[in-house]
Amino acid sequence: MSFSINDRELMTRALSLAAKGRFTTSPNPAVGCVISRDGSVLGEGYTSPPGGNHAEIEALSKIKDASDACAHVTLEPCSHQGKTGPCAQALIDAGLTRVIIACEDPNPLVAGKGIELLKAAGLEVECGLFEDQARDLNKGFIKRHEQGLPWVCVKMAASIDGRTAMASGQSQWVTTPAARQDVQRLRAGSCAIITGIGTQLMDDPSLTVRISEQELGIEHSLRQPLRVVVDSQLKMQSSARMFSQSGNILIATLDGENQRKKSNALIDKGAEICFLPANGEHVDLHSLLLELAERECNNVMVEAGAGLAGAFVGEGLLDELVCYWAPKLFGSEARPMFNLPISTIDAHLALSIKDIRQIGEDLRVTMYPDKDY
């Protein structure tokens, strides 16, 4: 299907609007909408935080007369009554005659029903314009609805020789302040941050988002992501710094008498304890991801040491790897990025580089597992 230059320009604008909501719309998708007539923009909008207007309603609210207009929207308009009304019906009622959609909504409550509703009302509907870009913008939402799992991003900071800490565990700081600030953007776009008990005991992190709405260039208030500690034996102490910070804490552990005894003190500090099945001696990470998907987490970020990070990679649970490389050499005695039982070159995990850019003095490299290998 061919789209005009004007269609491409308007959908590009809609994608740019959608990106403004990527830090605040979860568990809903980030959507942008531009309504025009004869190529001139009448109104535009993007999805508000849960309970607020969807992109289409936001755009319509700025228009007195939308009759015979066209909407360019990055995701299929919803057709069901949730916290807000169905957007597809709102477009119909407003008198639009054409809707261009970047990609279909995988949510079973929508999943083509919005398109059918628009077509049944006589509107011209075309799909697929910049579909890949639209899917990438909502990759966590899409994966959760298509596969029942959240999108998993593993973040690592390492020296150029692939070391994350000295043999003693000392790791502050591998990268520059600019890179650490950039990590705050990754945290802000995550529904949950996962770490392991080893990292928690060694570094006592807060795992909070420490970047402002102004720095992100957004209008709506940020929410703190769920902080998840994988702690099979429940070694976490109630004195952990995490408990003095705002936001919810989930501790994933195994179900045992010892863990049950220790759990009350952590619950009293405000943590929620989740008892999960075992994979060997450790918490089954697939079960953890299923639990997070049930909690409507679209995107989760793993900030952990070589053991837990290596487990996510080794068990095939990785969707995205973001590495911050510092121009430093730590030496062969320092700790590696991953503990991975790879013994032959043929058993390597191939990665595709999606983006490389310099952040301060460091390099940030974004990679996906290469499905062709």
Residues known to be catalytic: 56
Residue of 157, 119, 153, 121 lying closest to 136 (CA atoms)? 153
- DSSP alpha helix (H) spans, 94-138: 113-120, 131-137
Kindly list the distances between the CA atom of residue 127 and the CA atoms of 32, 39, 131, 146, 239, in Å, as whole numbers in the listed order: 15, 18, 8, 19, 53
Cis peptide before 173 (omega within 30 of 0): yes
Task: Check if the beta carbon of residue 30 is closer than 8 Å to that of residue 189.
Answer: no
Task: Give the separation between CA 319 and CA 162, rounded to whole angstroms.
Answer: 20
What are φ and ψ of residue 244, in 5° steps?
A: -95, 0
Q: What stretches of 269-305 show up as alpha helix (H) in DSSP? A: 285-294
If DSSP codes are grouped into helix, strand and coil, which group holds residue 318? coil
Q: Tokens 């998708």 belong to which residue?
A: 29
Contact yes or no for 205/225 (Cβ under 8 A): no
CB atoms within 10 A of CB 352: 12
Closest CA to 71 of 42, 47, 29: 42
Q: Residue 73's closest CA among 52, 95, 57, 49?
A: 57
Cβ–Cβ contacts within 10 Å for residue 373, how many? Answer: 9
